[in-house]
Structure 1
């Protein structure tokens, strides 16, 4: 389960960096959830777990003011 959560974190990180690089837009937790819906079934994680990882990522990103 830990490796699946790590995969989600890395996926959200890559998605966020790509969005910033291509469009100059930082994704919110709501935006990230649209991209992670398909991954939930593939990883064997509950949807709330994936959503919580996305929320935590966005929270930490804002907390440390990381633009990329």
Structure 2
């Protein structure tokens, strides 16, 4: 079962960080809309799809993105 992670950069060149995760993609999309609707929202945000709820998988992905 797929798991969806919401990751954000709070400012330009800041490290990517996990903000939220859920098995329901629509729930993650709603969270993305909530955090980006405010004036002081994150610089950048992405939804990353994982094969399952695997902390090691997302940790490796964040290390690669923050490279």
What's the TM-score, normalizing by structure 2? 0.31
User: Which structure is higher in helix share?
Assistant: 1
User: Which structure is higher in strand share?
Assistant: 2
